[in-house]
Amino acid sequence: MQAMHSPTLKPSPLDPFRTRNRSPFLVGAASKSRRRVCVVASKSKREKDPKKRVVITGMGLVSVFGNDVDAYYDRLLCGESGISVIDRFDASKFRTRFGGQIRGFCSEGYVNPKDDKRLDDCCRYCIVAGKRALQDANLGGYHRSKINRVRAGVLIGTGFGGLTVFSNGVRTLLERSHRKITPFFFPYSISNMGSALLAIDIGFMGPIYSISTACATSNYCFYAAANHIRRGEADVMLAGGVEASMVPIAFGGFVACRALSQRNEDPKTASRPWDRDRDGFVMGEGAGILVMESLEHAMKRGAPIVGEYLGGAINCDAYHISNPRADGLCVSSCILSCLEDAGVSAEEVNYINAHATSTIAGDLAEINAIKKVFKNTSELKVNATKSMIGHGLGAAGGLEAIATLKAIQKGWLHPSINQFNPEPSVDLDTVANIKQQHEVNVAISNSFGFGGHNSVVAFTAFKP
């Protein structure tokens, strides 16, 4: 669908979640605002207070490449596609019959067997990824008992929530009776339950909630979680996103939107961001969760530090329910606000993990926004994780944040695969088809969602 008219341009309000005072980005005076924000960013300094510096001490995921972070990134570096024909349900009558379906998932050792039979995969993915992140952060079992759990929180979002439980409940209502609906229908379908169940399991009692902003969800959660720490409300936060969307109702909905690629004859090459022959995104699922901690708290307990969260930003296009602004204006504003919050200049950024879904309009709108912010792109690398794992919707930003942090750790960027016929206007280095060695200085990760939700977060290697 196309918008029928251009929106009235109004000044964007200050983001209520931000912890620093900033000037609002005036959309109606775009060029002046961009110059002003660039100047502010260049003069800013990174956070020095160890109580407010936010570090990453653990990572956990559930992905089409399994549940191990290192194995996940190794397969990304190899340029392997995790896309395949769907066999979880009969998709033979759909126009699209493939996706990033998770196979062989096992929650043994992480989820109580009795609960495991009742839970939606959305909750199961969340609990497994969250506990694996805690183990990675040396916060499993005994070690977790040593922290102040009142100052430990869980902020894991999802775009849909428990879709399998929900759709099964609707089917029971229509085919049998309301009396046959499971009493777990409501608790296991609502979007906050992944965070809640994980908090109940591990005993965290700080800020516990969920954010749902479609495909921008994970970054919104990282941003809010970091600000809980910066405001002194928490020492430790589990943050990220989860989605268990490979079910008929969700899949059929996106087919109805005509948003998905229909390259059924060759699914592994279907997700092709920035390629002229792209025909839509490839649906995926999973979970990506980080342990975020104040530097002071991490140092006191001798935590392993993976990297540092520098800052983030969120805003909204206020334009259309699904189409992005073609000029990328609000996305560029979001990137600039992120750099300001992070205390870095555009020149310091040399890697972008792009949203890059493989849609006709979205890919180019993001590139337009990047070019508005980064004038010298000679050292800038931009890649697309979704080219291999598909679009994990609410989990996408979490899975991509982990890929970004692994790139910082390893000094290697995974390729953007399926780059056969590049768009002429995409004159950036998209790490096409082959991994590249690259020492990352500052990285940003972009995520955008239906409704015009924009989110950007910045990471770097930890330096004391």
User: What CATH number is associated with residue 371?
Assistant: 3.40.47.10
Cβ pair 365, 58 in contact under 8 A = no
What is the total residue count of the chain?
464
**146 with 59, same domain?**
yes
- The sheet with strand 152-157 has its strands ordered as 208-209, 152-157, 236-243, 286-294, 54-62, 307-316, 453-460, 442-449, 349-353, 381-383
**pLDDT at residue number 44:** 54
Question: Which residue type does 90 have?
Answer: D
**276 with 418, same domain?**
no
Q: Is residue 112 part of a domain?
A: yes
**195 with 323, same domain?**
no
**190 with 265, same domain?**
yes
Domain boundary among 266, 300, 334: 300
Q: Is residue 367 part of a domain?
A: yes
State the Cα–Cα distance between residues 394 and 419, nearest whole angstrom: 25
Question: Which residues are tagged catalytic?
Answer: 215, 355, 391
Q: Is residue 12 part of a domain?
A: no
- pTM for the whole structure: 0.90
State the Cα–Cα distance between residues 40 and 376, nearest whole angstrom: 18
Domain boundary among 280, 300, 320: 300
* Token pair 């997700």 in the structure block, residue: 271
**pLDDT at residue number 27:** 33
Q: Locate the DSSP E strands across 46-116.
A: 54-62, 84-85, 98-99
Q: Locate the DSSP E strands across 63-109.
A: 84-85, 98-99
**431 with 322, same domain?**
yes
Q: Is residue 13 part of a domain?
A: no
All residue ranges of the chain with pLDDT < 50 are 1-43
Domain count, the chain: 2
Task: Give me the domain span that covers residue 380.
Answer: 311-460
Q: Is residue 282 part of a domain?
A: yes
**pLDDT at residue number 326:** 86
**pLDDT at residue number 21:** 37
Q: Is residue 33 part of a domain?
A: no
**149 with 267, same domain?**
yes
What phi and psi, each to the nearest 5 degrees, are found at residue 422? Answer: -60, 145
**244 with 334, same domain?**
no
Cβ pair 287, 62 in contact under 8 A = yes
**95 with 202, same domain?**
yes
**214 with 319, same domain?**
no
**240 with 276, same domain?**
yes
Q: Is residue 449 part of a domain?
A: yes
Domain boundary among 300, 331, 348: 300
**237 with 371, same domain?**
no
**355 with 254, same domain?**
no
Residues 323-377 have pLDDT tens digits of 998 888 999 999 999 999 999 999 999 999 999 999 999 999 999 999 999 999 9
**pLDDT at residue number 14:** 35
State the Cα–Cα distance between residues 388 and 398, nearest whole angstrom: 15
Q: Is residue 39 part of a domain?
A: no
